[in-house]
Structure 1
Amino acid sequence: MRYHGRLLAIGVVLLFNLLRYFYYHQYLALPFKWTFFILTVIFLVVAWWSGKQFDHVKYMSERDPLTGTYNRRTVEKSFQKVAKKCDQKDQSLGIIMLDLNNFKEVNDEFGHQRGDELLIQTAATLNHFVGKNGIVARWGGDEFIILVSNVKENFAESYVKKLQKRIKEQSSEAFSNVGASVGYSIYPRQGVSFQKLIQKADAKMYKEKKEK
């Protein structure tokens, strides 16, 4: 969770108290009292608490409540910003769609709680694999989407296959029959529309899923 709300609230309070000080004690020449600091501290505490509530609400609005990854709405908004940065640096952007194989069987055999644990574990693996070079989001159900900046020509072999292998390895530790079907598309080579790129990645993913 970021501190934008708290920092902004603290900044506003400090500015307000600075203006208050100059107005009462410099402009009006009123005597300075120690209660000034007490009020300032109270204002700062209230500002910090209010800012924390704002940061929490903002965080929850951007995240999937189960896995902690970004949610669908956030990744759709993020695409435009990331794509613009890639344009400025003359880079390509990879869009990966990932679907867990046999996830329904896990829920049926072990229960939904174990299925949730698998989703949380998968999200953690994806975040660790992607690092700071990408954005991970839960697209829905057992599907995840990943935005990867500055992809290379051998994206499929150097990144996608390694990601798929890593998911299989982490899943096999607890669920031997669980793997992942993966599809991808590349901006701007295969399109500039987010929806079009998603459709291409989704089609590749389901084609792979049917072949297994």
Structure 2
Amino acid sequence: MTYSGRILAIGIVLLFNLIRYLYYHQYLALAFNWTFFILTAFFLCVAWWCGKQFDNVKYLSERDPLTGTYNRRTVEQYFQKAAKICDIKKQTLGIIMLDLNNFKEINDEYGHHKGDELLIQIASALNKYVTKNDLVARWGGDEFIILVPNIEEEFAIDYVQKLQRAITLQSSESFSNVEASVGYAIYPQQGSSFQKLVQKADAYMYKEKKKK
């Protein structure tokens, strides 16, 4: 969760009180009263509380409630921004689709609460693996999507395959025989729209899934 709402609210209150001080005690030359600090402290407390509510709402609107990763709406918005940066800098953007194999069997054998625990573990592993510029989102069910700006030439080997191994190692601590199928697409070489790239990555992922 960010502090942007709280920082903005505090900044506005401080600016307001600075203007208040300059107007009453400098421009109008009124005698300075210690109650000025009480009012300022009160306004700052209110601003902090309001800013915190804004930050909470913003966080919940961007996140998947189970895993804490970003949701579909946020990842689509991020893609638009990242794609524009790639166009300007002549870079490429990787879109990775990840799907857990045999997730239904895990739910049937251990129960849905254990399936939820697995999804949380997978999300944690993804967040540990990716860099600060990457974005991890839950696409739906047991599917996750990752956006990777400014990818390297050996993207398929250095990133995708290592990611797949990291997921297998993480999940094996609590569940047996858990693996992930991974597909990917590259912007702009394989498409200019987010929907088209997701379709390509999804098709690639299910092609790999059938091989297992």
Tell me the TM-score normalised to structure 1 length: 0.97
**Partner residue of 1:24?**
24
**Cα shift at 1:97:** 0.2
Amino acid at match of 1:16: F
**Cα shift at 1:211:** 2.2
**Secondary structure class of the residue paired with 2:132:** helix
1:23-80 residue CA offsets vs partner (Å, 9 max, x unmatched)? 2112222211100110000000100011011011001100111111111100000001
Distance, in Å, in 2 between the alignment partners of 1:166 and 1:15 is 49
**Partner residue of 2:99?**
99
Distance, in Å, in 2 between the alignment partners of 1:97 and 1:142 is 11
Amino acid at match of 2:15: L
| 1:82 and 2:79 are equivalent in the alignment | no
Distance, in Å, in 2 between the alignment partners of 1:203 and 1:10 is 48
**Cα shift at 1:84:** 1.5
Residue-pair matches, total: 212
Structure 2: tracts of 5 or more residues without a match: none
Amino acid at match of 1:107: N
| 1:135 and 2:135 are equivalent in the alignment | yes
1:134-189 residue CA offsets vs partner (Å, 9 max, x unmatched)? 11000011000000112122211121111111111111222112100111000011
1:106-157 residue CA offsets vs partner (Å, 9 max, x unmatched)? 1111111111110011001111111213110000110000001121222111
Distance, in Å, in 1 between the alignment partners of 2:93 and 2:20 is 50
**Partner residue of 1:121?**
121
**Partner residue of 2:42?**
42
Distance, in Å, in 1 between the alignment partners of 2:104 and 2:158 is 30
Amino acid at match of 1:180: A
**Cα shift at 1:90:** 1.7
Distance, in Å, in 2 between the alignment partners of 1:26 and 1:172 is 68
Distance, in Å, in 1 between the alignment partners of 2:39 and 2:117 is 47
**Cα shift at 1:83:** 1.3
Identical-pair percentage? 75
Distance, in Å, in 2 between the alignment partners of 1:3 and 1:46 is 15
Matches within 5 A, 1:1-212: 1-212=1-212
Tell me the TM-score normalised to structure 2 length: 0.97
Consecutive aligned runs of 4 or more in structure 1 exceeding 4 Å deviation:
none
**Secondary structure class of the residue paired with 1:178:** coil
The alignment yields a C-alpha RMSD, in angstroms, of 1.0
